[in-house]
Amino acid sequence: MTDRRSLELWARAQEVIPGGVNSPVRAMAAVGQNPPFIKSGRGAYIEDVDGNRYLDYVGSWGPLILGHAHPEVVKAVQRAAEKGTSFGAPTEAEVLFAEKLVKLVPSLEMVRLVSSGTEATMSALRLARGYTGRDLIVKFDGCYHGHSDGLLVSAGSGLATLGLPACPGVPEAIAGATLSLPYNDLESLASAFASHDGQIAAVIVEPVAGNMGVVEPKPGFLAGLRQLCDQHGALLIFDEVITGFRVALGGAQERFGVLPDLTTLGKIVGGGLPLAAYGGRREIMQRVAPCGPVYQAGTLSGNPLATAAGLMVLELLQAPRVYETLEESSARLYDGLGQILAAKGLPHCGQRVGAMFTYFFTAGPVTDYASAKTSDTALFARFHRGMLKRGIYLAPSQFEATLVCLAHGPQEIDAALAAAEETVKEF
C-alpha cells in the first residue's frame, strides 16, 4: 500500500488548514495514522490519491446509506444543477422535501430546512427557549449535538477522541446555561428538574447515542424522558442527525415508540450534500420567523442540489425490504466481529442498533460516557491500523460508530471479517 501522494498533500494541508483537516477526527491522530486523501468513491468502496482502494464503513460519517455515488442520486443532482445551484428563494423541491419528512417522521408536523446538523440543533434549542420562556438546557454526557457554544459541554465525539475536557472560547455564562447529566440516568434528570424548577426549557438527547460510540437507551429511558418533560413543562428534543432514517425509516422515535416535541435531522436527509432540518409540533414551529419572533435564517437553506439528493435518497429508502436488508447485514458483521474478538480473548463489549454499532475495547458493560471511556483506546488504535492496512476503512476513533450501508453485500461483509481475522492474529 503506497501513500506518497497522500503524504505530500498532508504536508501541504498542514501549512494552510489547522491540523491539516476541516474536521478534527479526520486527522486520524487518535489511531496513530496519517490520513489517506480520498479521490473517489463508488458503492461500498473509496479510493485514495495513491490508488489504494478501501472498503468503507464510515460512509462520510453517516449520510451515505445507499453507498457512494449512487447513480440515481447523482442523476438527480445533475438535473438540478443544470437549472441552477442556488436561488435564495422558495422552490418546489423544498415543499416536496418538507412534505416527505412530515410524512415519514412520526413527530413532525412542520419543518425548517438548514444546512448542517449543528445549525439544526442550535436552532431547535433557540426555538425551545423562545417557546418556553426558559433558559436552561439539559443534555447528556457523551452526546454530541454539534459545535455551537452551549453544546460543547461533555460533548463526546471529537472532544472525546482528542481527549479535550472542554473547549476554550466558550464563555462561562453560555456553558452555565447547559446542564450535562449521565446518559441512561433518569434519577439525575429528576433531580435536575427539582433543583431548577421552572427553569429548564428543553432536554436534548441522542435517542441512540452515537458520539461516545453506540450506546443504546436502557428500557424505559426514552419514555421516562418524555414523562419528566411533560411533568415539568419542558420540551423533549431528539437529535436524530445520526439515527434519522438509519435505525428505521421513521428514525429512533419510530423504533422505540417515543415521540419528541422537536426533532433534528441531518446526514442521510441530504444524501451526501449539506442539508439538515429541525421540526416538530405545529404550535412550536409557528414561533419561527416569519410566523413568530424566534429568528433563524440561511442563504443556502433548502439548496436545490441538496434537496434533489435528499428527495431521491428518501424515495429509494422506501423500497421493499430496505431496512430488513440493513438489519441483516449489520447483524452479520457485528456478530462475526464479536466472535473474532472473543476467540482471541480480547476485552470487548458491543452494542448495535439497526445499521450502526460499536465494539468498545473494554469488558463493559457500557451504558454511558463514563463506562465508554474505560475502553482501551491504544488497543482500538492498533486494531484500526491493522484493518486499514488490509483495506478496511473504519471510523478513526473508539468513540464513533461503524456504519453499514445498502452497498455492503455478503462479499463486503466477508471481506471485513476476513481482515479482522488477520488483524487479530498480530495481537
Number of C-alpha atoms within 13 angstroms, CB side, residue 189?
A: 29
Q: With 50 as the cut, is the pLDDT of residue 193 above it? A: yes
In this structure, the number of other CB atoms found within 10 A of the CB of residue 332 comes to 17
Q: Note whether 129 and 343 are within 8 A (CB).
A: no
**What does the DSSP 8-state code read for residue 364?**
-
Write down the pLDDT at residue 154. Answer: 59
**What is the band of 158 on the pLDDT scale with cuts at 50, 70, 90?**
low
Q: Return mean pLDDT, the chain.
A: 95
One of 57, 131, 144, 183 is an active-site residue; which one? 144
pLDDT in tens, 9-38: 999 999 999 999 999 999 999 999 999 999
Per-residue pLDDT, averaged over 209-217, amounts to: 97
Peptide bond into 410 cis (omega under 30): no
pLDDT in tens, 94-147: 999 999 999 999 999 999 999 999 999 999 999 999 999 999 999 999 999 998
**What does the DSSP 8-state code read for residue 354?**
T
**What is the band of 168 on the pLDDT scale with cuts at 50, 70, 90?**
confident
pLDDT cut 70: percent of the chain above it: 96
pLDDT in tens, 50-72: 999 999 999 999 999 999 999 99
Q: Which domains does the chain have, with CATH numbers?
A: 4-57+321-424 (3.90.1150.10), 71-316 (3.40.640.10)
Per-residue pLDDT, averaged over 270-295, amounts to: 97
Q: With 90 as the cut, is the pLDDT of residue 174 above it? A: no
**What is the band of 7 on the pLDDT scale with cuts at 50, 70, 90?**
very high
> Residue 239 catalytic?
yes
> Residue 278 catalytic?
no
Write down the pLDDT at residue 161. Answer: 47
Residues forming beta bridges with residue 200, ordered by sequence position: 136
Residue 385 burial class via C-beta count within 10 angstroms: exposed 0-12, middle 13-18, buried 19 and up: middle
Return all residues near 115 (Cβ < 8 A) that are at least 6 apart: 274, 275, 276, 298, 300, 301, 303, 306
Peptide bond into 182 cis (omega under 30): no
pLDDT in tens, 401-426: 999 999 999 999 999 999 999 999 99
**What is the band of 157 on the pLDDT scale with cuts at 50, 70, 90?**
low
User: What backbone torsions phi and psi does residue 3 show, to the nearest 5 degrees?
Assistant: -145, 25
Place of cell 428543553: 202
One of 48, 56, 239, 261 is an active-site residue; which one? 239
In this structure, the number of other CB atoms found within 10 A of the CB of residue 172 comes to 7
List the grid coordinates of 139. 443534555
One of 267, 359, 373, 393 is an active-site residue; which one? 267
pTM equals 0.95
Which of 282, 243, 252 lies closest to 127, judged by CA? 282
Using DSSP, state whether 189 is helix, strand or coil: helix
**How far from chain centre, in Å, is Cα 366?**
19
> Residue 197 catalytic?
no
Span of 37-41, 58-62, 167-171 with lowest mean pLDDT: 167-171
Q: With 60 as the cut, is the pLDDT of residue 156 above it? A: no
